[in-house]
Structure 1
Amino acid sequence: MHKPLALTLACALVLAGCGGWQQSRINPSNWFGGSEPAETAAAANSNPLLPQDSNARGIFARPEPKDNTVLVTRVSELRIERTASGAIIHATAIAGRQGAYDVELRPAETPEDGVLAYDFRVVYPEFQTGTGSEFSRTLHAARTVSYQDLEGIRTVRVNAAQNAEESRRR
């Protein structure tokens, strides 16, 4: 009975001596001062539900696919139809050989003032294919454009490797 009483008294004495521990430099919770509110710069057009674009890629991310598209040989027709929300740009082209796929009207890299330019791009198979008739090499592509995109645009152009077709506003 004498040992537990002596141990309890010793612990109480040590605990009473630790009253200055809270303000001591040895206490890790005192190494930094208290927190204060700070101003943050608001990111422009940030949506917390969408991930931010960054160049950082994870270790399991696939490499960026290389662009195998080329300009189609020749654009044969360009037609623009009005819609309730803007317009639809229809383009018809003739490929250099059969088998072209993944057809798209991609915005041109060198925009001009008042001109909405698109490149008619396709992907050809890796193996050689025949030329065939012009009908069998005909390709069609379309793209929708809103009224906001058409604001200030006077000419729509579709580029190919050998030519380009244009349509002007009346």
Structure 2
Amino acid sequence: MPRTQRNDNFIDKSFTVMADLILKILPANKRAKEAFVYYRDGMSAQSEGEYAEALENYKEALELEEDALDRGYILYNMGLIHASNGEHETALDLYHQALECNPRLPQALNNIAVIYHFMGEKAKQEGDEDGGEALFDKAADYWIRAIRLAPNNYIEAQNWLKTTGRMQIDVFF
């Protein structure tokens, strides 16, 4: 039974009904509609912590989806799962692929920065000051790019950039 037929809460049921209605009226081909169904099921599984199922659905959606922007969101969500499982290299790869499909995805830029910052902290804890600083510089580059796309977001990153002196100019205005 497809995941969308197993939804047992009001919000999921409502989302499923709305999504099914949109699918029926959208002027999209069968392949695009199938991709959306897999993507929707992936998001539902992900929200319930069923990461293996979510990844399977996202992989199916990725095989069917032709639109670059939509592929970017699929790859981004796959990156979220891998990042939450501590698979940072895989997550970084998926976020970079998402950015290749959609360069205007500030949340992917932010998540890359978060991973580099985490890796920098870890390097410093292990006594690698230079390596940690290099990773912090990478994080700064990605946060600056994210903030340029979404200047009202990532306030903590903006503060970190200012307090660490990694922001030479005011990139927000």
Q: Could you tell me the TM-score, scaled by structure 2's length?
A: 0.25
**Greater helix share, 1 or 2?**
2
Q: Could you tell me the TM-score, scaled by structure 1's length?
A: 0.26
